Amino acid sequence: MINNTLTIAGMDPSGGAGILADTKAMSALGTYACAVVAALTAQNTQGVTGVQAISPEFVALQLDTLFQDVRIDAVKIGMLGHEKVTLTVAEKLAKFKPEYIVLDPVMVAKSGDVLLEKNAIHALKEALIPLSTMITPNLPEAGVLLNARAAETLKEMYRSAEKLRKLMSDRDNKWVLLKGGHLPGNDTIDLLYNGDKMLELPGQRIATKNTHGTGCTLSAAICALLPQRKNVPDATQQAKEYLLAAIAKANLLTVGSGHGPVQHFHAWW
Query: Among 7, 45, 211, 217, which one carries the catalytic annotation?
Result: 211
Note if 215 is an active site residue.
yes
Amino acid at 208: T
pLDDT at 88: 97
pLDDT value of position 90 = 97
**Predicted confidence (pLDDT) per residue in 73-119, tens digit:** 999 999 998 999 999 999 999 999 999 999 999 876 555 555 667 77
pLDDT at res. 112: 56
What is the pTM (predicted TM-score) of this model?
0.95
pLDDT at 119: 79
Neighbours of 199 (CB within 10 A): 15
The conformational region for residue 190 under phi > 0 = left, psi -120 to 50 = alpha, else beta, is: beta
Check if the beta carbon of residue 160 is closer than 8 Å to that of residue 151.
Answer: yes
Secondary structure E strands in 68-163: 74-77, 100-103, 134-135
pLDDT in tens, 25-66: 999 999 999 999 999 999 999 988 998 999 999 999 999 999
Neighbours of 78 (CB within 10 A): 28
Q: pLDDT at position 111, please?
A: 55
List 7, 31, 41, 214, catalytic entry: 214
Q: Tell me, what's the pLDDT at 96?
A: 98
CA–CA distances in Å: residue 158 to residues 10, 132, 168, 200, 205: 30, 20, 16, 10, 20
Query: Which is nearest to 29 in space by CA: 64, 87, 74?
Result: 74
- Residue 222, pLDDT score: 98
Between 143 and 107, the more confident residue is: 143
Structure confidence at residue 42 (pLDDT): 95
Q: From CA 42, how far away is CA 48, in angstroms rounded?
A: 6
Selecting among 16, 110, 216, 260, the annotated active-site residue is 216
Catalytic residue among 10, 16, 180, 215, which? 215
CB 136 within 8 A of CB 219: yes
Residue 179 is among the residues annotated as catalytic for this protein: yes
Residue-level pLDDT at 184: 74
Task: Name the pLDDT band for 172 (thresholds 50, 70, 90).
Answer: confident
Does residue 214 have an active-site annotation? yes
pLDDT of residue 115: 62
Q: What is the pLDDT of residues 237-254, one digit of tens each?
A: 999 999 999 999 999 999
Catalytic residue of the set 76, 174, 179, 249? 179
Q: pLDDT digits over 176-217, tens only?
A: 999 998 787 777 899 999 999 999 999 888 889 999 999 999
Catalytic residue among 213, 223, 236, 240: 213
pLDDT value for 186:
76
| Residue 213 is among the residues annotated as catalytic for this protein | yes
Question: Is 223 considered catalytic here?
Answer: no
